[in-house]
Amino acid sequence: MSLQTLESTWAFEPRAADPTHRHVVGLLGAGIGGSLTPRLHEAEADQLGLSYTYRVIDLDTVGQPAERSAALVRSAADFGYDGLNVTHPSKQLVQDGLDDLSPDARILGAVNTITFHGGKAVGHNTDHLGFIGGFRAGLPAAATNLVVQIGAGGAGAAVAYGLLRAGTRQLVIADIEPGRAEGLAARLAPHFPDSEVSVTRTDSVAPSLRTADGLVNTTPIGMSGHPGLPVDPELLHSGLWVADVIYRPLDTELIRAARDRGCAVLDGGRMVVGQAVAAFELFTGIRPDAERMLASFRAEARS
């Protein structure tokens, strides 16, 4: 299945397509000066012949505290933006500046995309679409009956939601803070009565991994500045697929260890591109070429 195919049904409607519109969008967050997202969006817009400007609203650069996130959302609307992507630390804080939330964003309690249309600011969450769309494209034959997920933070919530929506019947969420995993499980379980969501500690995943179909890392362990692996590599086996949401670097220590042990692997590039594909469509009403965006992203990420 192509990454172009994300979800056949949307819980919200994207903007009506207008190729003549001058699109202005942005990214709101802290420490985001080096983000690849602006180039990813603008390169695809160029290919589609769209007028599309992507600006960075870095809290550190503009000298604003995170608590001003909601006010900055309103300012963006006043200045004629079509939408915003949102990242740390603003995914929860922007909600006070919104008129409505999509059902997915309401369940997850986090917003990573905002659209300004018809006089309303609406918050969405495309992270779960990004993960599951990338998963289906990168590991199309992989089973998902029993999956072990490491991490229960913001990325973990989106991945867990995506897996359960895609049909995972048994999801084991492991976190170094059991209370965080329990909270996520309690929030998601009522929406998926046909699935079992259980929790454990990160250092207690061995029994589950022996029979699991797959393992997903949603923690920062393995990204630049946070070296290491989230689980003992000796627990990896060839019957297990392994996915990582980290994309800097694309080849994390976990991905390399899993590949060495014969596991099918999925790096974090497809998730970040998948959520960008969904956001681009919300902003413009036009479905971009996801495989082209993925190729563009990989070229930038490896340069």
Angle, helix 269-284 to helix 37-48, in steps of 10 degrees:
50
The DSSP symbol for 259 reads: H
Catalytic residue among 91, 128, 136, 270: 91
Per-residue tokens: 94: 């922007």
The DSSP symbol for 146 reads: E
10 contacts: CB under 8 Å, gap ≥ 6 = none
Strand positions, DSSP E, the chain: 22-29, 51-58, 83-86, 100-101, 113-117, 120-124, 146-150, 170-175, 196-201, 214-217, 241-244, 265-266
127 phi, psi to nearest 5 deg = -65, -40
Report whether 189 contacts 169 (CB < 8 A): no
Whether 120 is catalytic is no
Amino acid (one-letter) located at 44: E
Report whether 284 contacts 23 (CB < 8 A): yes
Active site residues: 91
